Amino acid sequence: MAVPELTPSLLHTDSKLPTLITGPSLGTAALPLWAPALPYLKEHFQVIAWDLPGHGASKPSTQGFTLAELASGITAMVGALRADGVIAEGAKLFYAGVSVGGATALQLAVDHPGFFNALSSICSAAKIGTPEGWTERAELVAKAGTPTMVAGSAQRWFAPGFIEKEPEISASLLHSLQDADRFAYAHACAALAGFDVRGRLSATTDRILAINGAQDQVCPPADAQFIAENAPQGQAAIIDSAGHLAPAEAPEDTAALLAEFFLAN
């Protein structure tokens, strides 16, 4: 196990604005997931996304990692961006991630309190799926590759009718899954198998907004309510039109919720 090296993508740079670090879902690259929301976010934030190992711009992982190590990889990435002057010292810093990226938000709140001014867990949960399910998926993808996940992900990711309504957005997301490194994808599955912060949310001190889609089959609205009820500074919001990838499916609504919550004080 080791802290993975994460590659940032500078989606919108303006060091005078607060910085928003955006995280991916398993199988998606940062750009196709967050690009639809960028027009609505960039008036409020400098936006910097990160990719999972072996996804998008990040190099494949050579060994397994935990969610705690992934969270440490994010703080290391932010430290490097500060050293390079991309993120101004003292500037407000926020985090929003989807699915595994949302789980990482909760891990950051647990392990690195106060590092971010506030965080948002999107289409995620304090525990996602079962260890057995993730282990089985990791073994399948490591053996047969990420294309084996495309058909099932097309059903799980999107609300009914979205693929027909937005074929370019959905196709770019599914292509990023097909292009992901199979072993790094398997490492991320193994990390999710060991992720469970349900009993640790009560000790968090960060402001956390849990946003879930009303049509999400993977992380239903009850998962957002659990976070809001168990994190002392937690809140929940539900997007009626979204499935599992809210920034791509409901970009304006997602951006509005983030801006309202993060800039509230």
pLDDT at 265: 67
Name the H helices within 6-123: 30-34, 38-41, 67-83, 100-111
- On whether residue 192 sits in a domain, the answer given is yes
pLDDT at 1: 67
- On whether residue 73 sits in a domain, the answer given is yes
pLDDT at 151: 87
For residue 31, the enclosing domain spans 8-262
Cα distances from 221 to residues 128, 227, 262, in angstroms, run: 13, 10, 21
- On whether residue 215 sits in a domain, the answer given is yes
Q: What is the pLDDT of residues 69-103, one digit of tens each?
A: 999 999 999 999 999 999 998 899 999 999 999 99
Name the H helices within the chain: 30-34, 38-41, 67-83, 100-111, 131-144, 150-157, 162-165, 167-179, 182-193, 221-230, 246-249, 251-262
Domain count, the chain: 1
pLDDT at 154: 85
What sign results for the dihedral spanned by CA atoms 181, 47, 158, 213? positive
pLDDT at 89: 86
pLDDT at 230: 98
- On whether residue 1 sits in a domain, the answer given is no
Place of tokens 């879930």: 212
- On whether residue 93 sits in a domain, the answer given is yes
- On whether residue 3 sits in a domain, the answer given is no
Q: What angle do CA 72, 76, 81 make, to 5 degrees?
A: 145
CATH of the domain at 156: 3.40.50.1820
- On whether residue 170 sits in a domain, the answer given is yes
pLDDT at 135: 96
Question: Which stretches of the chain score pLDDT less than 70?
Answer: 1, 265
